[in-house]
Structure 1
Amino acid sequence: MSNFSKARTVRKPATISKHGIVAAQHRRAAEIGAEVLAAGGDALDAATAVSFAIGALEPWMSGPAGGGAMMVWRAGEARPYAVSYGMRAPRGLDPRDFPLSGEGVAGDLFPWKRVVGDRNLEGATAVAVPGVVDGIGIAHGRWGRMPWGDLVRPAAALAREGLSVDWYAGLIIASAARALARDPDAAALFLEDGIFPPVGAWTALTEIRLPFARMADTLEAIAANGPREMHDGDVARALAADVAAKGGSLRYEDLAGYRATIEEPLSFGAFEGRFHVTPTLTAGPTFADTFSRLEAGLEALGPEPSEGERLAAMATALSGAYADRLTRMGDHESPAAPGSTTHFSIVDRDGNMVAMTQTLLSAFGSKVVSPSTGLLLNNGIMWFDPEQGRPNSLQPGKRCLMNVCPVIGEIGDRRFAVGASGGRKILPAVAQLSHRLLALGEDIETAFHGPRIDVSGGTTIIADEALPGEVLQHLAASFQVRTAERLPFPYAFACPAGVMREGSVNSGASEPSSPWGDAVAATA
């Protein structure tokens, strides 16, 4: 650890406004959402536009061929809703097509026993039934104000314009270039001559762009024909045919039979406030377990625990909650893996809120592109344990267990919507931010800049090296501790985004170390 890194401080001021705010992992997507709010759109309208736009701006993280979940707060009803649109295994999938190789564990997000040819990690055999478009569609159908097509078309324009390859995009693509080269359509879309990663421009006078023309056509079709185009229209037929041609089990019938759901959230009290989270097959139940343990642990310490005691109590709570999750729910994702996910949070002028997380699972998903649709495809089959007889074993038609954790919290006249990307690192980040905003009363800028720890199921706590020495010593008395800097790459911590409303004033923030993330206010 150098003296330079210890002295370096990155600040990203929060955005404060009486108008609506969008906080996202890409500023351009946040701007598009803010434009929707300024035009009189609901928070759900803005979420629709941001979801599609960010799939064109950082396609390795999410897109129409992924899955996810959202928490929605409706100010007029003073109540929350959960929307679930996670991926599912195709009904024609045969677990016998994923034989164990006997060669140790897989090399991606999950330490499952390795499958022959990594068929559950990469390639068309790893593609699960996507749900993002149907999830957005049912939410927009219930709460949206603006026409569907008007919200999707900005993303189509972005795709036609093409991805601008700066240093960060170039780095991300280079990190997956070897795998992308194995699929001719992915190689043609992301790599130069199908082999080399594009090199970002070194000066402002030059620019490299990767056009996504086929993706743009697909988004235009979804804009014109509605969300079910992705599931029972020509786009669905073309997507299913492409996956079948590449050897995957996804079929048109899987897409046509998919239905997202609007559910009652899991709501519970904590620290004199209240949380609302997604109820099933996400990190929502583990979030609730964490706060039950944390409240009991802090109560035992007395009224004014030190920062070291507080973080140790948080570490203990997260560790215990994860141990229970791994035993009962079967999520054995590697704590070292970041996942390929994006999160954005939105509040409109009326106080309606959306916390939305969407994902392809691994970075670049299955590393396969559907040539007819231009969409990068998920690798949701990797969420399942290929070994049979276990809590999360691979079975046809089964729903995937995700780590997404969108949260709505409220105490007094303060309400906030937060979430993050980062695989198993999501829950620790969201729990710590939620505790700061609800129990400690911090403003959103203070909470987002506060140093964090990561406790995501391994034996070692990752601690932000910005933490004071006495705090690190306190943690080290009970846990194995390794310090790390908060960097955009490689990932030691999750990448959160959140908004808050207190009285009639809104605020928003994104991860300070994220090179693209930002919170943008509507102009009216």
Structure 2
Amino acid sequence: MTNFSQTQHIRKEVVWTEGGVVAAQHRTAAEVGAKVLADGGDAMDAAVATSFALGVVEPWMSGPMGGGMMTLWRAGESRAETIEFGMRSPAGLDLADYPLERDHAAGDLFPWTRVAGDRNIYGATAVAVPGTVAGMELAHSRYGTRDWADLLAPAIALAERGMLIDWYASLLIASATRQLARDSDAARMFLIDGQWPNISGWTAATEARLDQSVMARSLRRLAEAGPRDFYEGELAAALVADMQAKGSALSLADLAGYRARASAPRSFRYRDAMIHAPSGLSAGDDLRATLEQMEQAFRPTEAPSGDSYAALAAALSAAYRHRLAHAGDTGGHDEAPACTTTFSIVDRAGNMVNVTQTLLSIFGSHIVSPTTGMLMNNGIMWFDPEPGRPNSLAPDKGCLMNICPTIGQQGDRMFAIGASGGRKILPAVANLTSFMVDFGMSLEAAFHHPRIDLSNPDLAIADETLPASVQQALAATLPMRTARRTVHPYAFGVPAGVMRQGGRNCGATEIMTPWGDAVSETEVSDKR
């Protein structure tokens, strides 16, 4: 049974251009990055500007208080690289603060054994050491061509105005109202009287906006004092004071000792393509294992078939089983609100980057640092609270992330893709990579084509629009059920990508995201 229309079809237009393109989960942030490209900036300049802008217009997904990774391509050197800026547990974390309730499973993204009071999911005890600012610092120092302060200026201006609360923002805030109401600072920012989202009526003449003036001051300080201030200066002291007052183990030493890391990606051949998957504590190795098994399992024909989907399902299931046994990540829900954000950029010279950054859960730990005006991450939830496992919670330990920013090369085509959605990220990236490499799909065709999800290795989730023959092949491989591609919640990952071919570029975002869009530098130039 379903309440939804059976005749509605949703598409997004994909436009090719000789200029650079930014594809992001919020159009305003994509416009910020495209403006940087139009002004002569490098893809990395645009990435820094887009990253901070997203933290303002999509504050519950990512921001300076989160972490992530980027995989990049430098066209002049024909070289890929990963920059790792994942979160870490505080060195002073005390395992006694996370007592287990062994007869219960936790909620949210991972059904770990429940911690009493969900202290690893909500509140200050769920906060990990943030890495996004350090990641942008390292990327900018290696490849940036524009001044750091200039790249943060658009985010500051957006925060001073305050993000618009439209119907989609209201929906997301309403989904988290109970937890936000528990933190007075979060309630003050997002709710009215501690109960309802800050939203005007459907026919109101005035716009409803968040008050992000405190965030604007913090971003201005970050722009003027530089990125290390976040880890060693005034911002660091304010953040630690706020968090310790709410019960976090985060310390000044944790921040001062944090550094992002540049490393070689996991590069491997898949059929006639070269894939550059992320290094480190990511899903990069799982993507490699998935594609290697698929290459042996079927021969591509003209279009995806029951055989190709069944091979993809079996490979994803095997990759996740290996990850569960050896990396320690476990569990997952079939459907959840999308968390994390991802964006992809290509510039005129062919430099590319995909950045995937996150607070982990939507709204992170659901608490706000009052002095900085920003939502905090809940990176501690990435750890298994049960002791004695590869991913068990411990002090001063890197978080195992599901993110998978990826660069692909095939003939004269290149693409940069990533996705948000927790454990749905790997299946989304694997689906899209197969569509483009195995079947020669354009970026537009790949993003519109129905996908499957295997974030639970024991259950295949198939887009209900897939042909009966494909569904039958999947059901013969694994237990299967169908799901609709909707705005909320997301049954499948939420990707963003760019493609370059013949000196021309295009970009695309998940067709169901009402905010997501690809913006070319030509579009923002035409608006001047």
2: CA distance, partners of 1:61 / 1:305: 35
Where does residue 158 of structure 2 map in the other structure? Answer: 158
Using a 3 Å threshold, how does the CA distance of structure 1 residues 119 and 204 change in structure 2: closer, same or farther?
Answer: same
2: CA distance, partners of 1:319 / 1:8: 32
2:338 and 2:489 in contact (8 A); partners too: no
Where does residue 107 of structure 2 map in the other structure? Answer: 107
SS at match of 2:275: strand
- Higher mean C-alpha deviation, range 356-365 or range 154-163: 154-163
1: CA distance, partners of 2:200 / 2:294: 45
- The alignment yields a C-alpha RMSD, in angstroms, of 1.4
- CA deviation vs aligned residue, 1:283-325 (integer Å, no higher than 9, x gap): 01100010011111114xx867861111111101111111111
- CA deviation vs aligned residue, 1:217-263 (integer Å, no higher than 9, x gap): 01101111111121111001100110000011001110111000000
Instruction: Report deviation, 1:476.
Output: 1.8
Letter aligned with residue 311 of structure 2: A
Where does residue 518 of structure 2 map in the other structure? Answer: 519
Where does residue 446 of structure 1 map in the other structure? Answer: 445
Where does residue 319 of structure 1 map in the other structure? Answer: 317
Instruction: Report deviation, 1:3.
Output: 9.3
1:101 and 1:114 in contact (8 A); partners too: yes
Where does residue 364 of structure 2 map in the other structure? Answer: 365
2: CA distance, partners of 1:150 / 1:304: 48
1: CA distance, partners of 2:353 / 2:319: 26
Where does residue 476 of structure 1 map in the other structure? Answer: 475
Instruction: Report deviation, 1:207.
Output: 1.5
2:304 and 2:439 in contact (8 A); partners too: no
Letter aligned with residue 506 of structure 1: N
Instruction: Report deviation, 1:71.
Output: 0.3
1:201 and 1:207 in contact (8 A); partners too: no
- CA deviation vs aligned residue, 1:92-134 (integer Å, no higher than 9, x gap): 1111211112341111111111111111110001100000000
Q: How many residues align?
A: 522
1: CA distance, partners of 2:337 / 2:429: 15
2: CA distance, partners of 1:197 / 1:27: 22
Instruction: Report deviation, 1:64.
Output: 0.2
- CA deviation vs aligned residue, 1:36-74 (integer Å, no higher than 9, x gap): 000000000000000000110010000100000000100
Letter aligned with residue 142 of structure 2: R
2: CA distance, partners of 1:441 / 1:397: 44
2: CA distance, partners of 1:447 / 1:284: 20
2:474 and 2:480 in contact (8 A); partners too: yes
1:81 and 1:265 in contact (8 A); partners too: yes
1:112 and 1:386 in contact (8 A); partners too: yes
Matched, 1:224 2:220: no
Q: Which stretches in structure 2 are left out of the alignment for 5+ residues? A: none
- Higher mean C-alpha deviation, range 237-246 or range 3-12: 3-12
Letter aligned with residue 396 of structure 1: P
Using a 3 Å threshold, how does the CA distance of structure 1 residues 55 and 438 change in structure 2: closer, same or farther?
Answer: same
2: CA distance, partners of 1:387 / 1:303: 46
Instruction: Report deviation, 1:195.
Output: 2.4
Question: Equivalent residues in 2 for 1:176-215 (5 A)?
Answer: 176-203=176-203, 205-215=205-215
Where does residue 503 of structure 1 map in the other structure? Answer: 502
2: CA distance, partners of 1:482 / 1:46: 40
1: CA distance, partners of 2:52 / 2:303: 44
Instruction: Report deviation, 1:460.
Output: 1.9
2: CA distance, partners of 1:216 / 1:199: 21
1:170 and 1:200 in contact (8 A); partners too: no
Question: Equivalent residues in 2 for 1:75-474 (5 A)?
Answer: 75-203=75-203, 205-299=205-299, 307-336=305-334, 337-338=336-337, 340-474=339-473
Q: Which stretches in structure 1 are left out of the alignment for 5+ residues? A: none
TM-score, structure 1 length as denominator? 0.97
Letter aligned with residue 87 of structure 1: M
- Higher mean C-alpha deviation, range 24-33 or range 204-213: 204-213
Instruction: Report deviation, 1:203.
Output: 3.4
